[in-house]
Amino acid sequence: MSEWVLEARRLCKSYREGNATLTVLRDITFEVAAGERIAIVGASGSGKSTLLHLLGGLDQPDRGEVSIRGRDVARMPERERSKLRNETLGFVYQLHHLLQEFTALENVALPLLLRRRVPRDRVRQLARERLREVGLEARSAHRPSELSGGERQRVAIARALVTNPALLLADEPTGNLDPHTGEGIYELLLDLNARHGTAVIVVTHEHALAAQMHRRYRLDEGVLVPL
Ligand SMILES: Nc1ncnc2c1ncn2[C@@H]1O[C@H](COP(=O)(O)OP(=O)(O)OP(=O)(O)O)[C@@H](O)[C@H]1O
Ligand SMILES: [Mg+2]
């Protein structure tokens, strides 16, 4: 098995706009080792979310490859690819994307329910434990509209972590939060990294959080520049 949790090879991504082509990512190559902490910064529109989506398999590159645990995801049958992603990756979206009609607990439980094999009682127990870890057990019956911005972000993190992923991809998890709540979120990320060895790629503008990472990059003109 590969020593890398995730490898990206020569990723390219452009968007066509009428006759013009907007090139967002040019030939991005990098690897993530188990337990590693990586920060990505960059101006608005520089392609940070696009990159994270490609790494997480939420979107396809025009060229290049993404391998999870040494396996090229593009070369697998869809079912196997979904399974490998579900088992390996957790994703915190820039806009938390919680399902409005479900409670916090149900939102957190969703990735486990997708596995089908996990018994319902166990799913509830694991989801409850994750909500407790993010300090929200008392909010488990609340729907997203009944939670504060920071609470929603914490539910989204609990959901991304409920499967014990080897790698967490977090897209500005402290964006739009007050500094105190933001600090709580990144202490949580660092704690999970320390306790479970979860590798983290985080898009962030928080210097204090970026400073705690093993590696830092700036996405600039479609290229990852080491900082
Ligand atoms: N589906 C799409 N179709 C066309 N253009 C897109 C699409 N998605 C993103 N873009 C463009 O690609 C560029 C990169 O977008 P992206 O969301 O990756 O930026 P970002 O670095 O995450 O910005 P922010 O810090 O504001 O979240 C932007 O200029 C955006 O307008
Ligand atoms: Mg973004």
Q: Each residue of 32-88: pLDDT tens digit?
A: 999 999 999 999 999 999 999 999 988 999 999 999 999 998 888 989 988 899 889
Give pLDDT tens digits for 99-135. Answer: 999 999 999 999 998 887 889 999 999 999 999 988 8
For ligand 1, atom 9, which residue shows the shortest CA distance?
50
Query: How many CB atoms neighbour CB 79 within 10 A?
Result: 8
Handedness of CA 69, 46, 37, 111 (dihedral sign): negative
The domains located in the chain, with CATH, are 4-226 (3.40.50.300)
Q: How close is the Cα of 163 to the center of ligand 1, in Å?
A: 28
For ligand 1, atom 30, which residue shows the shortest CA distance?
45
Cβ–Cβ < 8 Å for 127, 88: no
Task: Find out whether the beta carbon of 222 lies less than 6 Å from any atom of ligand 1.
Answer: no
Predicted TM-score of the model (pTM):
0.91
* pLDDT, position 4: 92
Q: Which amino acid is at 77?
A: P
Taking 90 as the threshold, does the pLDDT of residue 143 lie above it? yes
Query: How many CB atoms neighbour CB 97 within 10 A?
Result: 13
Site to substitute for ligand 1 among 16, 24, 201, 225, most atoms within 8 A of C-beta: 24
* pLDDT, position 96: 67
